[in-house]
Amino acid sequence: MWILKLKLMHKDCHIVPRCEKFKVNSYAYPTSNYIKKRRKYVTAIHFLEGEEKNKKAFLRDLKKDRRIKKLEISGSIYSYEVDLGKAGEHVQLYHGPEMAFVAPVINSRDGFEYWNVAAYDKNILMKFVKSLKKHMDYFEMLKFQDQKLKEIYFPNVLPELSLSQRKAIILAYQMGYYTYPRKTELRVLAKEAKISVATFQEHLRKAEIKLLPFIIREMKS
């Protein structure tokens, strides 16, 4: 299967500029597109990643966008229907029946989108690239090669962590607590989080207890 990875930017995007402004990442699963009365519509499901206050500010601002016709929010997950008017040809391109997304679209805080698409026929992706370029303000091909598909991503419902638990486990991971040998210890992590060692350890253990059954279940499936 041919795998294509792209780095993109188009100035009329309703998501990425907000990701950059509010310092969040939004992982998208495109769901459908359709035309009604000569206007193009698209629906998608997103998962927001970032500081809680930044995610809330992002969603408040998104609600003000007149292109968003329907918006449902549940914690860090949101779905919408957006009216692209007579534009939005690129949306119809990536909903082509002969190709598929093999990972979520990453709407990044760095101001770019990252797409991973695949097709059995190389020519399908070459035509896609040629057409897509016309609609982008920035276009970079990061990868284009024939290889076996080793992994594919599907939306999963993760256990709900409190903000303190989420911060603790992300910090522990980022600072090397789970590497071998460990690059840090609880005392250092607690100091970085500006809380006591006992409190940090409690948040971390509760996060691990919630996440481990989910991880084990996924490994066994």
| Tens-digit pLDDT profile for residues 1-42 | 999 999 999 988 999 999 999 999 999 988 888 888 888 888
Q: Are 86 and 38 in contact, with CB atoms under 8 Å apart?
A: yes
In whole angstroms, what is the distance from residue 27 CA to residue 113 CA?
A: 10
Q: How far is CA 97 from CA 85, 91, 101, 151, 159, in A?
A: 22, 13, 11, 20, 33
In whole angstroms, what is the distance from residue 213 CA to residue 74 CA?
A: 23
pLDDT of residue 93: 67
Residue 175, token pair as written in the block: 């600072």
Average pLDDT score over residue span 152-168:
72
More confident residue, 60 or 150: 60
pLDDT tens-digit profile of 44-103?
A: 999 888 888 999 999 999 999 999 989 999 888 899 999 888 776 666 666 677 888 888
Kindly tell me if the per-residue pLDDT of 147 is higher than 90.
no
In whole angstroms, what is the distance from residue 161 CA to residue 206 CA?
A: 9
| 3-class secondary structure, 46 | strand
**Entry pTM:** 0.70
Q: Are 101 and 94 in contact, with CB atoms under 8 Å apart?
A: yes
